[in-house]
Amino acid sequence: QSTLTQPRSVSGSPGQSVTISCTGTSNDVGGHNYVSWYQQEPGKAPKLMIFDLIKRPSGVPDRFSGSKSGNTASLTISGLQAEDEADYYCCTYTGTNSVIFGAGTTLTV
Amino acid sequence: VQLVESGGVVVQPGGSLRLSCAASGFSFEEYSMHWVRQAPGKGLEWVSVISWFGENTYYADSVKGRFVVSRDRYRSSMYLQMNSLRSDDTAMYYCTKEARGTFWTGFDSWGQGTLVTVSS
């Protein structure tokens, strides 16, 4: 079964930039652009931050951006703000009619 | 867009349960819909997807053969019939909507979740 590897935690100071990586394989992350990222605050439902690898839903600040290199997708948050502190999950199509999530990364600001 | 889940309760191992998701604020029949769950203190796990008119359904290996997803276009609702429940099915179950009409693009709207607890 496919797995996506994310760092357990990342941290940054207000105003700085951080990047969260999400490593899969050539069958999933590396094989298409069906990568999405979610922000989840404690006790709340997840919120879509990036879809189709690089697209931002309406209302998501342009401080959030997505990218990919080979089998690793990345979420970059620039100009960190205290309100960005949350768990972040990557998600991708496996290539076999299913999707998988990474284990999540806790961002501390 | 609003998604409202219901049906989560405490159920014994081996039991059955049906979750519902009532959708509003968008053209329900134009989007694939998914169920995603989250065990207490754990990460997100995709469960199932159903296409626009219900002609295609797919499941995670962990629930295949036990769960059945369906939808009712007239009620703008999606359902998850859960059978042969196990303790590791204990989770918050979220109803989600595709960001675009096609599969696998991302989940742009989420309900508040409904909690299923499998315990004797």
Out of B58, B94, B112, the one facing A97 most closely (by C-beta) is: B58
- What is the token pair recorded at B29? 């029949």
Mean pLDDT of A75-88: 98
What is the identity of the amino acid at A62? D
Give A29's DSSP letter: G
- pLDDT tens-digit readout, B44-63: 999 999 999 999 999 999 99
Distance (Å, whole) CA B111 – CA B69: 16
Mean pLDDT of A61-90: 98
Question: How are strands ordered across the β-sheet holding A18-23?
Answer: A18-23, A72-77, A64-69
How close B51 comes to chain A (CA, Å)? 12
The answer to whether A42 and A56 are in contact (CB under 8 A) is no
A103 chain-B contacts, CB cut-off 8 A: 43
What DSSP line would sit under chain B, residue for residue?
Answer: -EEEEE---EE-TT--EEEEEEEESS-GGGS-EEEEEE-TTS-EEEEEEE-TTSS-EEE-TTTTTTEEEEEETTTTEEEEEE-S--GGG-EEEEEEEESSSSTTS-EEEE---EEEEE--
The answer to whether B52 and B72 are in contact (CB under 8 A) is no
- Nearest C-alpha in A relative to B114: A45
Q: Indicate whether A63 pLDDT > 90.
A: yes
Distance (Å, whole) CA B24 – CA B40: 28
- What is the token pair recorded at A35? 């990568």
3-state secondary structure of A93: strand
Mean pLDDT of B20-47: 97
B26 interfacial to chain A (CB closer than 8 Å): no
* Of A32, A34, A28, A31, the residue nearest A5 (C-alpha): A28
Distance (Å, whole) CA B117 – CA B120: 10
Out of A1, A34, A103, the one facing B43 most closely (by C-beta) is: A103
What is the count of residue pairs from A and B with beta carbons less than 8 Å apart?
Answer: 65
Q: Indicate whether B25 pLDDT > 90.
A: yes
Could B99 and A57 be called an inter-chain contact, meaning their C-beta atoms sit closer than 8 Å?
A: yes
Give the residue carrying structure tokens 């019939």: B81
Mean pLDDT of A63-90: 98
The answer to whether A52 and B106 are in contact (CB under 8 A) is yes
Mean pLDDT of B90-106: 94
Mean pLDDT of B22-37: 97
Q: Indicate whether A1 pLDDT > 70.
A: no
3-state secondary structure of A24: coil
What was the pLDDT predicted at A34?
Answer: 96
Q: Could you tell me what percent of chain A has a pLDDT over 90?
A: 98
